[in-house]
């Protein structure tokens, strides 16, 4: 292990030197050869990241282009550090595996704030440097030791105006009432959002959700199980609605506008009682680009123009209060933090989820299968 670590550092130094023009290409390759099989797991990307480059680990799709424009461009302009992407999706298990294996290839993960709680406790993350990152540029309670929320997304639902046009549903209670609103429902398969929606439908106040009463939530979920199908990805949620498989579908709020457009307005988004989720930037421990650079990157993501551009590009809602008032008028109905929505949405508790994900998810899977 020690030897391998030494070779790795030598290589990273070499990569930096090569990049800075202090080392011949041939020498660098010879160094790579010397490192041999043991260092083969060190991908070029790791060396590149070490050579003053920030790797953002996100979920692919449009987000590469959007993050590149909104955050990458101004960040590179200000620091000279380029932004690169790993679009394989930073699930908790993958971050843990990456850090445990000692082969960290990403600098910052586009994760959830509850990931910051869970992985922060187990020592898999770098602490956020609040001398560089601004606690005030996010919602209160969403600036944590090991992660800070830079955007918000949410669990809302869409309904079929053709089925319920005269008396449209407006709450999770309506969503779970299949007698009054007959038809199929779709819910998120991995529990979060779905549990909160069930509790609100069952009469729990939106600011008294946590700690979640799991048995009560699961009972409510089971009550409409025969009419429910469950999705595991945003595109699946989207297609379930657009293909008319469901009359009401839980979706990620940022997809709401697309769904309304794709169905020519047949399906309509309901933001009342939507659950706001703090999307967070978290840093795997031992990130190749170093702590200093990555904190600058996170700070850049907090800026008002970056946040507004992300909203425009991905529909992710700004978490920086300064940006709330500057949301474009036509986007406000779809934004969690717009004036019309900010007080009628519920807010996710990253601490509860950071400590209870396993029980919640497994309990949920058991309930629906």
Partner 1 sequence: MAHTPAIPLQARNMWRYLPRGGWLLVAPLMVLVLGLFLGPLTNIMVISVTDPKPGLGNYAALFQSDALGGILWTTLRVCVLTTAISVTLGYCIAHAMIHALARERNWMLSLLLVSFWISVLVRTFSWLMLLGRNGLVNNGLEAIGLITQPIEFMRNELGVLIGMVHYMVPYAVLPLLASMQTIDARVLAASRNLGASPAQTFWRVYLPLTRPGLVAAALLVFILSLGFYVTPAILGGGKVLMVAEYISVQILVTLRWGTAAMLAVLMLGGVLGLLFVMSRFMKLSTVFGGTKP
Q: With the C-alpha atoms ordered 270, 272, 274, 278, is the resulting torsion angle positive or negative?
A: positive
Q: Mask 116-135, x = binds partner 1 (CB under 8 A)?
A: --x-----------------
Size of the site for partner 1 (CB under 8 A): 29
Question: Residue 234 or 321: which CB sits closer to partner 1?
Answer: 234
Region from 38-46, 228-236, 261-269, 274-282 binding partner 1, contact rule CB under 8 A: 228-236
How far apart are the C-alpha atoms of 70 and 311, rounded to whole Å? 10
Among 173, 224, 229, 313, binds partner 1 (CB under 8 A): 229
How does DSSP classify residue 221?
H
How far apart are the C-alpha atoms of 350 and 315, rounded to whole Å? 21
Among 63, 92, 263, 319, binds partner 1 (CB under 8 A): 92
Region from 74-82, 171-179, 195-203, 241-249 binding partner 1, contact rule CB under 8 A: 241-249
Among 165, 244, 265, 305, binds partner 1 (CB under 8 A): 244
Backbone φ, ψ for residue 43 (5° rounding): -80, 160
For residue 351, state whether it binds partner 1 (rule: CB under 8 A). Answer: no
CB of 183 to partner 1, least distance (A): 11
Among 9, 65, 245, 340, binds partner 1 (CB under 8 A): 245
What residues have CB less than 8 Å from 349, skipping those under 6 apart? 209, 210
Angle of CA points 110, 105, 111, to nearest 5°? 15
Region from 86-94, 166-174, 272-280, 308-316 binding partner 1, contact rule CB under 8 A: 86-94
How far apart are the C-alpha atoms of 31 and 40, rounded to whole Å? 12
* Axis crossing angle, helix 291-301 with helix 304-314, rounded to the nearest 10: 70
CB of 358 to partner 1, least distance (A): 4
- Cα–Cα nearest to 180, from 229, 240, 248, 242: 248
Among 18, 155, 172, 231, binds partner 1 (CB under 8 A): 231
Question: Residue 241 or 310: which CB sits closer to partner 1?
Answer: 241
Among 27, 170, 239, 261, binds partner 1 (CB under 8 A): 239
CB of 114 to partner 1, least distance (A): 11
Region from 226-234, 266-274, 291-299, 319-327 binding partner 1, contact rule CB under 8 A: 226-234
How many Cα atoms occupy the beta-carbon half-sphere of 38 within 13 Å? 14
Region from 73-81, 131-139, 204-212, 229-237 binding partner 1, contact rule CB under 8 A: 229-237
For residue 304, state whether it binds partner 1 (rule: CB under 8 A). Answer: no
For residue 352, state whether it binds partner 1 (rule: CB under 8 A). Answer: no
Among 130, 190, 210, 352, binds partner 1 (CB under 8 A): 190
How many Cα atoms occupy the beta-carbon half-sphere of 83 within 13 Å? 29
How many Cα atoms occupy the beta-carbon half-sphere of 110 within 13 Å? 23
Among 38, 182, 215, 232, binds partner 1 (CB under 8 A): 232
Mapping DSSP to helix (H, G, I), strand (E, B) and coil, where does residue 108 land?
strand
Mapping DSSP to helix (H, G, I), strand (E, B) and coil, where does residue 277 land?
strand
For residue 101, state whether it binds partner 1 (rule: CB under 8 A). Answer: no
Q: How many residues are given for the chain? A: 369
Token pair recorded at residue 106 = 């990403």
CB of 147 to partner 1, least distance (A): 16
Region from 76-84, 182-190, 258-266, 342-350 binding partner 1, contact rule CB under 8 A: 182-190
Task: Respond yes or no on whether the N-terminal peptide bond of residue 131 is cis (omega within 30° of 0).
Answer: no
Q: With the C-alpha atoms ordered 327, 332, 336, 342, is the resulting torsion angle positive or negative?
A: positive
Token pair recorded at residue 346 = 């519920």
Region from 141-149, 213-221, 230-238, 325-333 binding partner 1, contact rule CB under 8 A: 230-238
**Helices (DSSP H) in 150-303: which residue ranges?**
161-164, 172-175, 194-201, 214-223, 234-242, 256-262, 291-301
Residues that bind partner 1 (CB under 8 A): 91-94, 96, 118, 184, 187, 189-190, 225, 229-232, 236, 239, 243-245, 357-358, 361-363, 365-366, 368-369
């Amino acid at each position: 292990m020690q030897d391998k670590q030494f070779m790795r550092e030598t290589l990273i130094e070499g990569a930096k030197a090569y990049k800075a023009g202090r080392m011949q290409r041939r020498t660098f390759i010879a160094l790579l050869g010397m490192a041999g099989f043991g260092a083969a797991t060190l991908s070029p990307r790791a060396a590149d990241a070490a050579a003053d480059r920030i790797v953002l680990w996100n979920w692919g799709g449009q987000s590469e282009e959007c993050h590149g424009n909104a955050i990458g461009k101004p960040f590179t302009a200000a620091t000279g550090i380029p932004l690169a992407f790993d679009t394989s999706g930073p699930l908790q298990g993958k971050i843990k595996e990456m850090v445990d294996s000692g082969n960290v290839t990403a600098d910052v993960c586009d994760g959830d704030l509850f990931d910051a709680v869970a992985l922060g406790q187990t020592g898999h993350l770098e602490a956020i440097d609040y001398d560089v990152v601004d606690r005030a540029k996010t919602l209160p309670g969403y600036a944590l030791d090991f992660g800070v929320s830079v955007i918000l997304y949410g669990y809302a639902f869409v309904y079929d105006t053709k089925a319920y046009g005269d008396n449209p549903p407006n709450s999770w209670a309506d969503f779970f009432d299949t007698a009054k609103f007959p038809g199929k429902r779709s819910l998120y398969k991995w529990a979060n959002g779905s549990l909160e929606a069930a509790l609100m439908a069952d009469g729990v106040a939106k600011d008294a959700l946590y700690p979640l009463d799991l048995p009560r939530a699961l009972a409510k979920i089971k009550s409409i199980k025969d009419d429910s199908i469950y999705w595991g990805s945003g595109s699946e949620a989207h297609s379930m609605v657009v293909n008319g498989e469901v009359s009401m579908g839980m979706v990620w709020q940022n997809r709401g506008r697309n769904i309304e457009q794709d169905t020519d307005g047949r399906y309509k988004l309901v933001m009342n009682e939507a659950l706001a989720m703090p999307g967070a930037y978290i840093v795997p421990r031992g990130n190749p680009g170093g702590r200093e650079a990555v904190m600058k990157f996170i700070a850049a993501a907090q800026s008002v123009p970056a946040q507004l551009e992300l909203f425009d590009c991905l529909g992710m809602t700004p978490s920086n209060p300064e940006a709330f008032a500057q949301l474009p008028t036509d986007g406000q109905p779809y934004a969690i933090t717009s004036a019309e929505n900010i007080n009628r949405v519920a807010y996710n508790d990253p601490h509860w989820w950071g400590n209870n994900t396993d029980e919640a998810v497994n309990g949920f899977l058991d309930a629906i299968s």
